Structure 1
Amino acid sequence: MLVNPWAFLVATLVVLPVGFIWYNPKVFGTIWMREAGVSPDAPKTANMFKIFGLTLLFALMANMVLQTIVIHQMGAFSMVGGGMLVDSAKPSYAAFMADYGHAYRTFKHGMLHGFMAGLFLALPIIGTNSLFEMKSAKYIWINAGYWIVCFTLMGGILCAWE
């Protein structure tokens, strides 16, 4: 197994504390509400179970892809067909994993790739949607910055925690 299930869980949950800090009124919350056109009273009527539940689902989905970006061994793992077919893989897979199974499995390395994923995936998606929604550059950078920070931390956790 290349990803520890606890790492996957923690990497998924990291979006909540980062969001609580990032969107706090003393950090970017007030600016974000203004730029997004969200009323300060809106959270009082919002379905928080739906918001936080879907946030965690989306973070889980992101982690499923992010693990393939931050853990280089996932390429070899996928080449043999994944977990169910590892036992029937050619001896070269076992030799590769014996030589490189723990290479680049550090928090720092995972953070690097997580940061790049946020910068080159989250920013363009959020930026494009926001441009068509006629949102400001502040709005784009606040939202994209949140995901860049999240992907950076998620990548570090997924990569390092074997």
Structure 2
Amino acid sequence: MEFNFIALLLAGLVTLVVGFIWYHPSVFGTIWMRENNLTQDQLKTGNMLKIFGFTYIFSLMITMTLMSLTIHQSGAIGMVGGPPLVESAKPSFAAFMADYGTAYRTFKHGALHGFISGLFFAFPVIGINALFERKSWKYIFIHAGFWMVTLTLMGGIICGFA
């Protein structure tokens, strides 16, 4: 099973694109700034190259995790010891992959798993941190919503095209 690394690189861009829209002042940006006690002037002082660069690197790390959550064949490949050992796997593995190698490899299926990852992983992690930081529910829902939308799109791209 081969992977389209261009699709993975594009999926990594989703956090930046969705973030640009989601945190825009016309959408949730004004509320987000108010919930964080930030001003436009404070936001302009950040090192944007560092922020966007690390965001993309972290996003690529997320794509690697989402691959195993959205592409079920990753589990089968893991059972034989990973890609280096696929050639030496038993004939039953080749037969299994011939029958099911492309099963559930759609945007829709990946989007479902991406959304579930956002709902049952990102949302609780954000919620726990925010509760201890004494942040509001608005803060929690803005960030959790961002990650649910982002992971849904990333999961769809990874499963459907990678």
Bin the TM-score by the shorter chain. Answer: over 0.9
* 1:68 CA displacement: 0.5
Aligned-partner residue type, residue 65 of structure 2: V
Residue 9 of structure 2 corresponds to which residue in structure 1? 9
Residue 139 of structure 1 corresponds to which residue in structure 2? 139
| Contact in 2 for aligned 1:2/1:73 (Cα 8 Å) | no
Aligned-partner residue type, residue 6 of structure 2: W
Q: TM-score scaled by structure 2?
A: 0.97
Distance in 2 separating the partners of 1:125 and 1:71: 23
* 1:3 CA displacement: 2.8
* 1:91 CA displacement: 1.1
Classify the secondary structure of the residue corresponding to 1:34. Answer: helix
Residue 154 of structure 1 corresponds to which residue in structure 2? 154
Residue 62 of structure 2 corresponds to which residue in structure 1? 62
Distance in 2 separating the partners of 1:78 and 1:35: 43
Distance in 1 separating the partners of 2:130 and 2:39: 19
Aligned length: 162
Deviation string for 1:6-55 (max 9, x for gaps)? 11011101111100000000000000010112222122210111111111
Classify the secondary structure of the residue corresponding to 2:43. Answer: helix
Distance in 2 separating the partners of 1:85 and 1:146: 38
* 1:159 CA displacement: 0.5
Residue 50 of structure 2 corresponds to which residue in structure 1? 50
| Contact in 2 for aligned 1:2/1:74 (Cα 8 Å) | no
- RMSD over aligned Cα, in angstroms? 1.0
Distance in 2 separating the partners of 1:144 and 1:53: 22
Residues 73-84 of structure 1 correspond to what in structure 2 (within 5 A)? 73-84=73-84
Residue 39 of structure 1 corresponds to which residue in structure 2? 39
* 1:158 CA displacement: 0.5
In the alignment, does 2:97 pair up with 1:129?
no
Distance in 2 separating the partners of 1:79 and 1:49: 40
Aligned-partner residue type, residue 77 of structure 2: F
Stretches of structure 2 that go unaligned for 5 or more consecutive residues are: none
Q: Percent identity?
A: 64
41-50 vs 147-156, which moves further:
41-50
> Which 4+ runs in 1 deviate beyond 4 A?
none
Distance in 2 separating the partners of 1:17 and 1:153: 11
